[in-house]
Structure 1
Amino acid sequence: MYKLRPILKTYYESLEENKILGMKCPECADVTWPPLPICQVCGSTEVDWTEMGNEAIINEIRFEDSSVGGDYTFRKANDFFADKETPYCISIGKFPNGTHEFHAALYGINEDNLEKWKGKLPFVAPVHFIEMAGGFKAVGFKIPTE
């Protein structure tokens, strides 16, 4: 039987050190973020930690008014963001060394600059650690400074 490792503890402790960890499979080289205990390509349980870096490639911006609908996960997560004032939207991207796309908060997008940034896709965005109300960090990204 497979012995589960304390994946969440290791992951969140690394975020406190401003380090983002994913999982890499030594058998097929698949790299997953957020980390999962089983390779999403070959099913191996021999995955191990790998650093993801401090920037990602943003491929899509989904700007929605969350009061009208939008992505429920982000509307729910927003209840726990310590900073509720900085504008953000949902983005789809991937880490340069990752093999899977992710959904994450992208900070700095608003109705005034949305079209400008959509016109720059894909672009590289630096990591923005999100302070959560529970006293821990989560991972988002921010538009790059010009």
Structure 2
Amino acid sequence: MYKLRPILKTYYDSLEDGKVLGMKCTDCGDVVWPPLPTCQKCGGYNLDWYDMGDEAVIDEIRYEDSSVGGDYTFRKANDYFVDKSPYCICVGHFPRGTEQFHAALYGVTEENKDELISQLPLKAKVKFIQLDGGFKSVGFEIKK
């Protein structure tokens, strides 16, 4: 198993417990996910762990054929996903967060993408993605 640094260990241990943690700055109140060691708004170091909840708001769906191009970061990450179910990329935010994120989004198909895009913003549940390194990552899933 991959050896995790302390800040990462707390985060990935929480994923194993079914909880998504971000960081909240006690100086300015900014909340960011995934967690970072410094506040991205004010630069402060006074951050506490913050439960992001189990649902996000999807603001944008980027449906593309990743074999043609796509987001390199996700194409590379996909090599380590145990479950090879199809997904696309989304831009969203947690209702308890203040920053947008990019993540894997499951449940979008060629057949339903236009309908889902017309409904944006929409809610999606957290989906824990098992990685072959022995730990989890976070994606989201639209339930019909």
For the criterion TM > 0.5, the same-fold answer is: yes
Structure 1 CA distance, aligned partners of 2:86 and 2:119? 19
Counterpart residue type for residue 50 of structure 1? Y
Deviates more, 1:73-82 or 1:5-14: 5-14
1:6 Cα deviation after fit: 1.6
1:144 Cα deviation after fit: 2.4
4+ residue segments displaced more than 4 Å:
none
Unaligned runs of 5+ in 1: none
Counterpart residue type for residue 39 of structure 1? C
Q: Which residue of 1 aligns with 2:68?
A: 68
Counterpart residue type for residue 70 of structure 2? G
Any idea what SS the aligned residue of 2:116 has?
A: helix
Q: Which residue of 2 aligns with 1:11?
A: 11
Any idea what SS the aligned residue of 1:126 has?
A: strand
What per-residue deviation string (whole Å, max 9, x for no partner) do you get for residues 28-80 of structure 1? 00001000010011111011100000000000000111111000000000000
State yes or no: 1:90 paired with 2:71. Answer: no
Unaligned runs of 5+ in 2: none
Backbone CA RMSD of aligned residues = 1.0
Structure 2 CA distance, aligned partners of 1:110 and 1:124? 16
Structure 2 CA distance, aligned partners of 1:125 and 1:14? 20
What per-residue deviation string (whole Å, max 9, x for no partner) do you get for residues 5-34 of structure 1? 821000000000010000000110000100
Deviates more, 1:16-25 or 1:5-14: 5-14
Structure 2 CA distance, aligned partners of 1:123 and 1:60? 9
Aligned length: 140
Normalising to structure 2: TM-score of the pair? Answer: 0.95
Q: Which residue of 1 aligns with 2:58?
A: 58
Q: Which residue of 1 aligns with 2:29?
A: 29
1:100 Cα deviation after fit: 0.4
Any idea what SS the aligned residue of 2:14 has?
A: helix
Normalising to structure 1: TM-score of the pair? Answer: 0.93
Counterpart residue type for residue 21 of structure 1? L
Structure 2 CA distance, aligned partners of 1:10 and 1:29? 21
1:87 Cα deviation after fit: 1.7
Q: Percent identity?
A: 64
What per-residue deviation string (whole Å, max 9, x for no partner) do you get for residues 74-116 of structure 1? 00000000011x2210000000010100000000111111101
